[in-house]
Amino acid sequence: DAKTTQPNSMESNEEEPVHLPCNHSTISGTDYIHWYRQLPSQGPEYVIHGLTSNVNNRMASLAIAEDRKSSTLILHRATLRDAAVYYCILRDIINTNAGKSTFGDGTTLTVKP
Amino acid sequence: NAGVTQTPKFRILKIGQSMTLQCAQDMNHNYMYWYRQDPGMGLKLIYYSVGAGITDKGEVPNGYNVSRSTTEDFPLRLELAAPSQTSVYFCASSGTGGASRTDTQYFGPGTRLTVL
């Protein structure tokens, strides 16, 4: 299974943009890049995902490198509620893999007021 | 929709006891998953299911058993509890197991288990 590498922790100031990096150098052509976040004492929640093109939704933007070996989750204006652990995972669209994903330890984002 | 629900929220077990963690989803999802999360760590896949009657092992299946008799329910059984099973357990579901470009996983709130 392809693995991802993320920094252990990052800090941001409130109202400023945050760029969370993820490396996935062994990604396969059928892997989607997914981002989830886990607020304290809660289960993970979906943030965004993409395959090749950059993606935007109401929560964040996802920038994917041209070679797909890395991606960046962008929070345009961090708020205190964005303080969480952010996981970058790969999900294979081949049905036989059943969407099994490997969650690394993620990046703990601290937002300072 | 309630989404993914888990019971109980908390439980303390003695070494050697057994228990079943319950998980249910009301989204008619075929795929369901059990993860465990140790303090300060990421999630590790215990077991998963691709539909009623079909289950398979994940990364860390030892000490656990599962069954999937209905689409909605996916209970996780712990036999002979050990301190190493102290963890937070999350159940998740997805519609197509990643086979659709829109597919994502939905997680329950977790069960915090302590084995003493």
Average pLDDT on A31-60 reads 93
Angstroms from B92 CA to nearest CA on chain A: 9
Q: List pLDDT tens digits, range B34-68.
A: 999 998 889 999 999 999 999 999 999 999 999 99
Please report the pLDDT score of residue B11 as a whole number.
96
Nearest one of A73, A75, A98 to A87, comparing CA atoms: A73
What six digits make up the tokens of A79? 């708020």
Q: For an interface test with B, which of A27, A95, A107, A108 has the most B Cβ atoms less than 10 Å from its Cβ?
A: A95
Please give, rounded to a whole number of angstroms, the shortest distance from the CA of B16 to a CA of chain A.
Answer: 27
Which tens digits make up the pLDDT trace of A60-100? 999 999 999 999 999 999 999 999 999 999 988 776 677 77
Query: Residues of B with CB below 8 A from A33's CB?
Result: none
* Separation CA B34–CA B21 (nearest Å): 10
pLDDT at A88: 96
Residue in B43, B94, B104 nearest the CB of A103: B43
**Least confident stretch, A22-31, B50-59, B73-82, B100-109:** B100-109
Q: In sequence order, what E strands does chain B have?
A: 4-7, 10-13, 19-25, 31-37, 43-51, 54-57, 64-66, 76-78, 87-94, 106-107, 111-115
